[in-house]
Amino acid sequence: MKMPGNMQAMMKQAQQMQARMQEEISRIKVEASVGGGMVTVQMDGQKHVLGVTIDPEAGGDVEMLQDMVMAAFNEAVKKVDDEAQQKMSGMLGGLGLPPGMF
């Protein structure tokens, strides 16, 4: 099925924008630290964990350590989401879409 010329151009532009957004998101790197720096998690824009640092002092109380690891991961995911949202808003801002759509 052949689309009208302007529709094809819009589709191509949308694909290019999507590729740029994915590239921008892949460049995101965040770090989340909890417990006064006892547990630190580094994560990229695709939510892959790049590193985990645990202070040896945190090893005494296993339940507390588990809670801190979980909190650090959750905070890192939130930071990735926030940064990705910011990048998407910036890129989509010029399209005149209603606020909150992305």
In angstroms, the first-to-last Cα distance of the chain is 30
Summarised one tens digit per residue, pLDDT across range 11-57 is 888 888 888 888 888 899 999 999 999 999 999 999 999 999 999 98
Tokens (6 digits) for 97: 């879409």
**Cα 100 from chain centre:** 17
Residue 10's pLDDT is: 82
- Distance between CA 45 and CA 60 in Å, rounded? 32
pLDDT band at 8 (very low <50, low <70, confident <90, very high): confident
Contact 26, 45 (CB under 8 A): yes
pTM above 0.75, yes or no: no
Domains of the chain: 5-95 (3.30.1310.10)
Amino acid of residue 57: E
Helix or strand holding residue 32 (H, E): strand 29-34
